[in-house]
């Protein structure tokens, strides 16, 4: 999966799946722009990538801001001159609460980051991909696609289902430009996304269910690692998946099948 001469953009690249994806893309030879909203986190991630011989650019931006994302893509093009690969990973869990308790502004925040953020990333990236073709990988979730058992996660599941719909729509629209569009749908992964999760009164919507010991059959109940998802992302970004588009791949160790 040689990505030498390719330029990649990874959003939410400061930690977790985004950082792991950026690291593996760079390891395959790609030049990587790490985009996120926390400058110190991005710098640390970029330093780690460069220490392994990678070429990294850090871009601080809010994916939900049209102005900031437009400037971010221009910064990338000014620095590298092209764009070949996009990993739309930035996202939050947001507030998980019963629908009659979930505040409009809380719903809007999750939609803004997860869905508007994905739209703006692709909106500003696609014109550059059209010049020579490329690949887009959207990081969705088993939630909203394979499972619906997270109580109170209405806004989150809505965004994750919508991301997969966008992938399928754009796979057809962008195929003529030789741009492939796919999604990965992780299950429980060891990341820091729970740090931006606010669960409130979820016991009101939780439906009791008894599962066998461990909800992840392939790992004896243990969550996956960010690298497990990142390796699938790199596959979808590379020519090894040259005939794959409009597809979602579940990276959950069988968790979604059980739940």
Contact assessment for residue 175 and residue 220, using Cβ atoms and an 8 Å cutoff:
no
d(CA 22, CA 20): 6
Helix 16-27 and helix 226-237: axis angle, to 10°?
50
SS3 251: strand
DSSP lists the bridge partners of residue 259 as: none
Residues 113, 71: Cα–Cα separation, whole Å = 17
State whether residue 214 is helix, strand or coil.
coil
- Those residues whose C-beta lies under 8 Å from the C-beta of residue 110, and which sit 6 or more positions away, are 92, 93, 94, 95, 155, 156, 159
Residues belonging to the active site = 156
């Amino acid at each position: 999966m040689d990505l030498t001469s390719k330029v990649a953009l990874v959003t939410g690249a400061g930690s977790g799946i985004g950082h792991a994806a950026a690291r593996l893309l760079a390891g395959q030879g790609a030049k990587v722009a790490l985009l996120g909203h926390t400058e110190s986190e991005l710098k640390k991630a970029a330093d780690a990538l460069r220490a392994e011989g990678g070429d990294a650019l850090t871009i601080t931006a809010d994916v939900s801001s049209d102005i900031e994302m437009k400037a971010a893509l221009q910064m990338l093009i000014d620095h590298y001159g092209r764009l070949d690969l996009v990993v739309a990973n930035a996202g939050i869990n947001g507030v998980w609460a019963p629908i009659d308790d979930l505040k409009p502004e809380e719903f809007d925040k999750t939609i803004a980051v997860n869905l508007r953020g994905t739209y703006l990333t692709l909106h500003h990236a696609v014109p550059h991909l059209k010049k020579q073709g490329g690949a887009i990988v959207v990081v969705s979730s088993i939630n909203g696609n394979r499972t619906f058992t997270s109580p109170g996660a209405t806004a989150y599941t809505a965004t994750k289902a919508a991301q997969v719909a966008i992938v399928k729509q754009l796979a057809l629209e962008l195929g003529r430009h030789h741009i492939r569009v796919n999604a990965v749908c992780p299950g429980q992964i060891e990341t820091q996304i729970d740090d931006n999760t606010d669960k409130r009164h979820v016991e009101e919507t939780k439906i009791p269910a008894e599962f066998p010991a461990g909800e992840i059959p392939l790992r004896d109940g243990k969550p996956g690692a960010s690298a497990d998802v990142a390796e699938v992302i790199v596959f979808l970004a590379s020519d090894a998946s040259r005939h794959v588009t409009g597809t979602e791949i579940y990276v959950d160790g069988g968790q979604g099948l059980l739940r």
